[in-house]
Structure 1
Amino acid sequence: MKTILFYKSGKPEDVLEVDERPLPEPQPGEVRIKVIASPVNPSDLMFIQNLYGIRPQFPSGAGFEGVGIVDALGEGVQMRTGMRVSFTSIGTWSEYAIAHQRSLIPVPDAMPDEVAAQLFVNPFTAYAMLQESGVQANQWLMLTAAGSAFSKMVIQLCKMKGIKTIGTVRRDDLNDELKALGLTEVINTETENLAGRVKQLTEGKGVACVLDAVGGHVATEAQKCLCKGGVMLIYGLLSLQDPTLNAGLMIFRELTIKGFWLTDWMRRVDSQTRQGVAQNVISLLASGKIQLPVEATYSLDEIQQAVDHADRQGRHGKVLIKM
């Protein structure tokens, strides 16, 4: 089978290779999946650079999620082959992948492959983080890196829940699209004072929560935008720079600043909560109420072009690898 491997950490376009490997056999509790499509997510690119919470074991596959057809069953797996499933694993950029049966989500017929391929990482994180934030209708929530696929998902969820949103951008070319999705206000951090503008928009109250993917100066300034008792959930570090924490703000506004990683959240919550999130996410995506646009698709042989495209600023949708 054709698969993507890397033998050392580094820039994805430099270290990823197309390789031929024997067809893998599922172990007890596992299934083999004939992969249809897999997205290129920021977490995939961080993993390849050894900057993620999970460390690669060389040679390593790449890609954390995808959609495919169950092709073979390991011992003890009670399900049928031929099912179309969304799944998570390490090594989804491949013609075939191995996944544990617990990671599989049966996909409704109404859901296109392009949506099912993106079912887990961004939608689950968006839904779970919104729950974790505790933000209620008519309160303000701020998103850094508002043009990302994740932020677009959160914007749509907030609109449905009546939550007002502020999104930060560095360029204005996505502003109309973000407003059309439901973003209440856009702030360009290159040309506007973030804290001052948020104070104006919220009538001096501040935002109840910041979901931060950037770190560095943007996250440092975003702390100033939180209301008393506000929460900042940090889920990324696109700038590769740590923010500076303001102890005075944390003390006198009683702020909470903490990290969020979907892998740990899934382990921490009970099965009923996980199933509830899954049912809600699938329902929203299958009905078309939430959109997950795709900007471009590439083959395994075009992996360098795919990861380069996925890392560009100003994309309007996800980059997919189709097998």
Structure 2
Amino acid sequence: MQSLQFSEPGKPGEVLQVHDLRLPDLSDDQVRLKILASPINPADLNFIEGSYGVNPVLPAVPGIEACGEVVESRSPDFKPGERCIFLRRAGLWASHAQVPASYLFKLPAAIDPLQAAMLKVNPATAWRLLTAFADLPRGSWIIQNAANSGVGRCVIPLAKSLGVRTINLVRRAELIPQLIVAGADQVLIDDAEVPGSVRDICGNVPPLLAFNCVGGESALRQLKCLAGGGTQITFGAMALRPLSIPNGLLIFKDLRIRGLWITRWIESAPRKEIEEVYGRLAGEMISGNLHIPIDSTYQLGDFRSALHRLSDPDRSGKVLFVP
């Protein structure tokens, strides 16, 4: 058994090391799982660097989501061979993990384990963005930036399943055909022309919601596109720039500014609600409606190659560890 660990915050390629993993005997209601796949998310890198919303207890094993197969269980709810995702932080860049049964959500047998490894964060974030902040009528518009991101690519099919239309902002023209094929209604280059283009597209029915994971000028352009009383939800900050909001947009449009951290929802929502959401999302994956592109997979020992692949300009999807 192995894991990736770091003993001090820093650049992942410099501070991560492969370590032998020794797990204690199972306690009552605990489950031991073999990790089948675990993606590399921006939040994982921030966690290693020490810039995430949760500070690591060192030494720490990163990895916030994974698909695992039960190999041993002292819980009546989980049996060997069953596959699960981890709802709570467990250090999943490893060959095995051992957690209380309450940390797990049991998956349908038909789901692809590589897709399931990415079920916890991006699909659930997309679902909450679409359903938790407004009652969107069928045919209404939302606008999102970084639409080619993991969350953005989940928003597109989930919005379509709800009868909601999407305006998708990207930085590079070569991404436009990809998102159109994925089901995007409109794709625009994220520049100063966006507010005018959105007025032309939407007419007198502007977007009710804006999903922001960039910040800075991109987020401000979204605000200019929103309907009066509309809501912008920030769930990331890729540009590392704060949002400065002109007073007039708040006074005359009465806009709402909200934030979303999917971890907080998982920790606070009733278990029944969590199971209903993940059950629906797992069904969307099995049907093929929800499919997250995968670029490449790597063994834990080849973590530097995996991290290097993240920055390649031709990367076309998620990078995963497959221990």
TM-score, length-normalised on structure 1? 0.93
Aligned to 2:40: 40
SS in 1 for 2:274: helix
CA deviation string 1:40-60 (max 9, x = no partner): 112212211222221111111
Map of 1:225-236 to 2, 5 A cutoff?
225-236=225-236
Map of 1:162-173 to 2, 5 A cutoff?
162-173=163-174
CA deviation string 1:18-44 (max 9, x = no partner): 122323444444322111111111221
Greater strand proportion: 1
Q: Which moved more, 1:192-201 or 1:289-298?
A: 192-201
Separation (CA, whole Å) in 2 of partners of 1:45 and 1:129:
23
Amino acid at match of 1:87: F
Separation (CA, whole Å) in 1 of partners of 2:264 and 2:30:
21
Amino acid at match of 1:81: P
Query: Are 1:186 and 2:187 an aligned pair?
Result: yes
CA deviation string 1:238-276 (max 9, x = no partner): 111111122221121111101101111223333332222
Separation (CA, whole Å) in 1 of partners of 2:190 and 2:59:
40
Whether the 8 Å CA contact 2:70–2:83 is kept in 1: the answer is yes
Map of 1:1-323 to 2, 5 A cutoff?
1-74=1-74, 78-88=77-87, 89-134=89-134, 135-190=136-191, 192-203=192-203, 205-312=205-312, 315-323=315-323
Amino acid at match of 2:81: G
Separation (CA, whole Å) in 2 of partners of 1:313 and 1:90:
31
Whether the 8 Å CA contact 1:30–1:77 is kept in 2: the answer is no
Whether the 8 Å CA contact 1:147–1:314 is kept in 2: the answer is no
Separation (CA, whole Å) in 1 of partners of 2:224 and 2:137:
20
* Runs of at least 5 residues in structure 2 that lack an aligned partner in the other structure: none
Whether the 8 Å CA contact 2:70–2:78 is kept in 1: the answer is no
How many residue pairs are counted as aligned between the two chains? 321
Shift of 1:80: 2.1
CA deviation string 1:64-102 (max 9, x = no partner): 11112112335x664323322222433111011122312
Amino acid at match of 1:82: G
Separation (CA, whole Å) in 2 of partners of 1:97 and 1:151:
29
Separation (CA, whole Å) in 1 of partners of 2:220 and 2:11:
27
Change in Cα spacing, 1:51 to 1:77, as seen in structure 2 (3 Å) is: farther
Change in Cα spacing, 1:219 to 1:152, as seen in structure 2 (3 Å) is: same
CA RMSD of aligned residues (A): 1.9
Change in Cα spacing, 1:14 to 1:198, as seen in structure 2 (3 Å) is: farther
Change in Cα spacing, 1:199 to 1:277, as seen in structure 2 (3 Å) is: same
SS in 1 for 2:230: strand
Separation (CA, whole Å) in 2 of partners of 1:154 and 1:227:
20
Separation (CA, whole Å) in 1 of partners of 2:83 and 2:142:
36
Change in Cα spacing, 1:25 to 1:215, as seen in structure 2 (3 Å) is: farther
Shift of 1:61: 0.4
Shift of 1:172: 1.6
* Runs of at least 5 residues in structure 1 that lack an aligned partner in the other structure: none
Shift of 1:305: 1.9
Amino acid at match of 1:100: P
SS in 1 for 2:184: coil
Task: Give me the identity figure in percent.
Answer: 32
Separation (CA, whole Å) in 1 of partners of 2:139 and 2:322:
41
Shift of 1:227: 0.8
Separation (CA, whole Å) in 2 of partners of 1:316 and 1:45:
19
Change in Cα spacing, 1:312 to 1:44, as seen in structure 2 (3 Å) is: farther
Whether the 8 Å CA contact 1:62–1:92 is kept in 2: the answer is yes
